[in-house]
Amino acid sequence: MIKTFYSKIRIALALIILLVIIAVLVTSQFFWKVLYPIPYKDIIWQHATETGLDPYFIASIIRTESNFVPRALSKSGAIGLMQLMPNTAKWVADKVELKIAKNEDLYDPNTNIKLGTFYIKHLLNKYNNNTAMALAAYNSGMGRVKEWINEGIWNGSISTANEIPYDETRHFVRKVLRSYEVYTSLYGR
């Protein structure tokens, strides 16, 4: 009986120590920076600065789209870090006078981030800097966003992002915005 009592005390102490360790980790900046790294930082800063966008916003999109995996390829055919559809990438490449010889070129981090950053800037301009609408269009297309707005399904605001009818797009918008909050909190503005 005394052995059982001491065994229970040891287990309780081990759990308390484990909880303290977890609490320390969760509140440490190091822990969060491991979860929210910024690979390709120089490339992100370069293209974000060129387009007047916050680099942490671009990092948030990349983290959400590909988790910084440059060879990412989606089921729908989106390619690279910023998960660009080939036709969209070619359209953007023409606008920025960048030669894209083949889809394989979109796996290059510099090319992909340049095109993706320009495209999100284009969408922000189109939607009067409405971040939620630009992100929704980035994920599901401008046609769908127009349809949702025109049919009164969604009013386009961040506060009503839960009304976005496509699960993937709704989760994408919320995850990018959440990542953006974490990045700016961790690394500053």
102 in the Ramachandran plot: left (φ > 0), alpha (ψ -120 to 50) or beta?
Answer: beta
Catalytic residue, from 65, 151, 163, 181: name it.
65
Q: What is the pLDDT of residues 131-173, one digit of tens each?
A: 999 999 999 999 999 999 999 999 999 999 999 999 999 999 9
Q: Which pLDDT does position 29 carry in this prediction? A: 81
Cα separation, 143 vs 145, in Å, equals 6
Domain ranges of the chain: 1-35, 38-187
Mean pLDDT of the chain: 93
Q: Which pLDDT does position 21 carry in this prediction? A: 67
Q: How many helices (H) and strands (E) does the chain have?
A: 9, 0
Burial class of residue 97, CB neighbours in 10 A (0-12, 13-18, 19+) = exposed
**Residue 181 designated active-site:** no
Cα separation, 189 vs 186, in Å, equals 9
**For residue 25, pLDDT beyond 70:** no
CATH number of the domain at 38-187, please?
A: 1.10.530.10
Q: What is the pLDDT of residues 43-91, one digit of tens each?
A: 999 999 999 999 999 999 999 999 999 999 999 999 999 999 999 999 9
